[in-house]
A = this chain, B = another copy of it.
Amino acid sequence: MEKRNIPKDFPVVILAAGEGSRLRKGGNHLPKPLVPLLGLTLLERALLTWKTAGVRRFYVVVGWEGKRVAAHAQELAKRHGLDLEVVENPRWQEGNGTSVLAVKDRTPAPFFVSMVDHVFEPSLVEGFVQQVKDKKSTIIAVDPRVTQVFDLADATKVRLEEDRVVDIGKEILPYHAVDMGLFFCGPEIFQALEKAKKEGDGSLTGGVKKLAAQGKMCAVKLEEGFWTDVDTPEGLEYAQKGLLTCVARSQDEGWISRHFNRHLSRWITARLASTSITPNLVTLLAFALAVAAGCLFALGKLGTTILAALLVQAASVVDGCDGELARIKFMVTPWGAWWDTLLDRYADSAIVLGITWEYSHGHGEAWPWIFGLLSFLAFAMASYAKKEHALRFGHPLPRDAGDKLTRRDLRLFAISVGGLLNRPFPTMVALAAMSHLWIGWMLWRKRKG
């Protein structure tokens, strides 16, 4: 028998039965679960988000256009190897509470419940699954950052006493947080839903209200990470922007990357997401741009040098897209990360080779090659020294200015600027000298550690 004592062993019930009429007003003719967002349908994104959080069984409740949604769900189950069951809810028009009631004979409580039209940063759902661990009652995830909710007027509000829900509804006052459309339901939910329905409220909120009145409804506050519900074309756009910001965010990032590259790469990633171009192909494209830049540098005309400089910066921007695309489409693999980091080193060497070739050739001298080789050494070592430090000491080097100055984003940006000024070689050598000095300084500073 399957072990049942950790939350991710519980299944998730995805409510995908509603009509989503407001979203269709935007000229959209698809049922809501099939609406595409950054290359994945809302249903696919919901399933993969929960899969990432470790959940292994899925129930998808369908209603409006049930056949079509069911077929899509089955196809997704096959494509992603999911243990998935489709549940039809003929009473879907009576409220989304009936969709939860529809699974009553299929799976014992507890289970998670999630709305197909709510989009979450995966870490947020992971956090919910973690926090639910020790709780016994039915739980709702709530967001206390009410001012950041996209359409607050339309949101379901929650009034809390400590971690207990005392009231829920769109119109209640005062309220402390907003319903995120993310639940962990104990067996008591069925009775509560039936009771609410008898009194004329077929919604899940109605059932939650009943449990709240009995003091049986807990709340878990999730205060970090992006989420939104998608009811309108504007909401869809907001979701897209939010998800792109998440995947382009990184603690460990250089200045140029954060303040310049990411704005462009995010825009490109959004375009790439709806194509079938894979992250690994984007990695190859970034490499090809760098090789092209190296070749153009080698030609040594002013025009080709300027073009090369622009390509170097383009390569740097595109180098950010592969990771973003992989994260946004749940396509992150160890191989992809490995491939990316190896090609980065090859790309650097192509640029160094082109710049050095031109300078040596133009001056009819061999000595620039010594600097070329030492430059490549510097760029390779800047990365190598950091990774080796993490490996040997068990913790990374401090993320200080020296670290930022020796990162690839700044290096490529500086070479690009140097290229635009028709001075790529001196720029490269200066960057290399800085990297070597930084490595020496790090070795010296750390020698007692």
Please indicate the chain B residues that have their CB under 8 angstroms from the CB of A357 in the complex.
Answer: 366, 369-370
Contact pick for A337, options B342, B383, B392, CB 8 Å: B392
Number of identical protomers = 2
A334 to B394, CA, bound (A): 9
Known contacts A387-B388, A392-B334: A366-B373 contact under CB 8 Å: no
Residue of B nearest to A447 (CB): B335
Contact A369 B360 (CB under 8 A): yes
Considering the complex, give the chain B residue whose CB is closest to the CB of A369: B369
Nearest opposing residue in chain B for A353, CB measure: B373
Q: Which residues of B contact A385 (CB under 8 A)?
A: 338, 342
From A440, which residue of chain B is reached at the shortest CB distance? B342
Residues of B near A443 (CB, < 8 A) are: 338-339, 342
Query: Given the interface contacts A337-B392, A388-B338, does A366 sit within 8 Å of B360 by beta carbon?
Result: yes
Report if A206 contacts B (CB, 8 A).
Answer: no
Is A25 part of the contact surface with B, judged by Cβ < 8 Å? Answer: no
**Closest residue to A372 on the B side, CB-wise?**
B373
The answer to whether A341 and B388 have CB atoms under 8 Å apart is: yes
Which one of B346, B356, B380, B392 lies within 8 Å of A345 (CB-CB)? B380
Residue pair B345, A381 in contact (C-beta under 8 Å): yes
Q: Does A352 contact B (CB under 8 A)?
A: yes
Q: Which residue of B lies closest to A364 (CB)?
A: B366
The reply to whether the CB of A67 lies closer than 8 angstroms to some CB of chain B is no
A149 at the interface (CB under 8 A from B): no
Contact of A449 among B335, B360, B387, B449 (CB under 8 A): B335
A349–B374 CB distance below 8 A: yes
Asked if A246 is at the interface (CB within 8 A of a chain B CB), the reply is: no
Do A346 and B377 touch (CB < 8 A)? yes
CB pair B377–A349 under 8 Å, yes or no, is yes
Assess whether A153 is interfacial by the CB under 8 Å rule. no
CA distance in complex: A374, B348 (Å): 11
A389 at the interface (CB under 8 A from B): yes
22 residue pairs bridging A and B, Cβ less than 8 Å apart: A334-B392, A334-B393, A335-B393, A335-B446, A335-B448, A338-B385, A338-B389, A338-B443, A338-B446, A342-B388, A345-B380, A352-B373, A353-B374, A356-B369, A357-B369, A361-B366, A366-B366, A376-B376, A377-B380, A380-B380, A383-B384, A391-B391
Given contacts A338-B393, A341-B392, 4 further A-B contacts (CB under 8 A): A342-B381, A346-B381, A369-B369, A369-B373
